[in-house]
Chain A
Amino acid sequence: MSTQRVVLVTGGNKGIGKAISTAFAANGDAVIINFNKSLDIAKTVLEELLPGNTTISIEQADVSDYRQVKQMINNIVEKYGKIDIVVNNAGIVRDGFLMLMSEKDWNDVISINLNGVFNCSKAVSEPMISQKSGVIINIASLSGITGLPGQVNYSAAKGGVIAFTKALSKELAPFNIRVNAVAPGVIETEIVDSLNEKIKNNFLNAIPMKRFGKPDEVASVVKFLASQDAAYITGETICVTGGLY
């Protein structure tokens, strides 16, 4: 079997996910970039990464649908004969104060951000148990640790992801499968770009390092957790927040 690592990044076509896909691709890994709706964006990322690495591909699947996820994992295992690393990154934001939050906005965020992690981890656990190796990295958020107003859905989902990470790490440790999480703070992505200047400045004032994080700075921690350098780390959540808590 090839020594090239096979890496799946859910929501790997945008923002932090794109930076993670790029980091693994630059490392020479076989990267499968999962996307759901944005085929054009996924194709663009594929074209950007292909010249340096010919084992990049894109896979459409809605992470909130177990059957689609299972099919995607089956496709990967059939093509490469294994799956080494899964980065559960796919997520959405539907902010609003609880009093004004619709049930749909609550359910959508839980379905994708929390159930999506369940679906991908469940689907991949079988081949990983069989291989007796694997790494699962869940992208959580500072919001899941401290809670943020206007984000009860997102905070609940990400807090759930952190607890899920701890529990699953204990279940899968006997099979040489590590499960960790990364909790980014405020990172320069489209979501942050869309905030108005006043809110951006409020965040900047609160961040001890007085700047937003870069997607690459999250990707490098993910890359570390996926590497042998982190061979004895499992069940952990590493914050990438510039000191913000």
Chain B
Amino acid sequence: MSDTIQKLKDLLITRLKLKVKAEGITEDTPLFGLNSLGLDSIDVLELIVGIKKAFGVEILDREVAEKIFTTVGSIARYIEEKR
């Protein structure tokens, strides 16, 4: 799990060009809203493509996306589950 989290943090920072350091992101860091990474819908599309490339996990269903794109941890858990 920690490997996945680390890889996901790198993905977020490099692919979405986030101006935060990996240490500043935890499992519970929200993706949207207050005190979040401040992602928008375009970032989500970018992230979906990045997750497919990095982990081979496809996210093509809106309900699944809504469920897992809440925190860094929720994405990581889904990736672990599907890999």
Contact = CB atoms under 8 A, between A and B. Distances in A.
Interface residues of B, number: 8
Interface size class, chain A: under 10
Contact of B49 (A122, A126, A171, A174): A126
Q: Is the interface of A mostly helix, strand, loop or mixed?
A: helix
Interface in A15-62: none
A129 B53 contact: no
Main DSSP-derived SS at the B contact region: helix
A161 B57 CA distance: 30
B18 to A, nearest CB: 16
A174 B52 contact: no
A174 B53 contact: no
A38 to B, nearest CB: 30
Nearest to B42: A174
Nearest to A125: B45
B46 interface: yes
Contacts of B48: 126
Contacts, number: 15
B45 A175 contact: yes
Nearest to B53: A130
Contacts of A130: 49, 53
Interface in A128-180: 129-130, 171, 174-175
Interface string B28-56: 00000000000000100110110011000
Contacts of A125: 45
Nearest to A174: B42
A126 B60 CA distance: 10
Contacts of B42: 174-175
15 contacts: A122-B60, A125-B45, A126-B48, A126-B49, A126-B52, A129-B45, A129-B46, A129-B49, A130-B49, A130-B53, A171-B45, A174-B42, A175-B42, A175-B45, A175-B46
State the 3 A-B residue pairs at the shortest beta-carbon distance, nearest first.
A129-B49, A174-B42, A130-B49
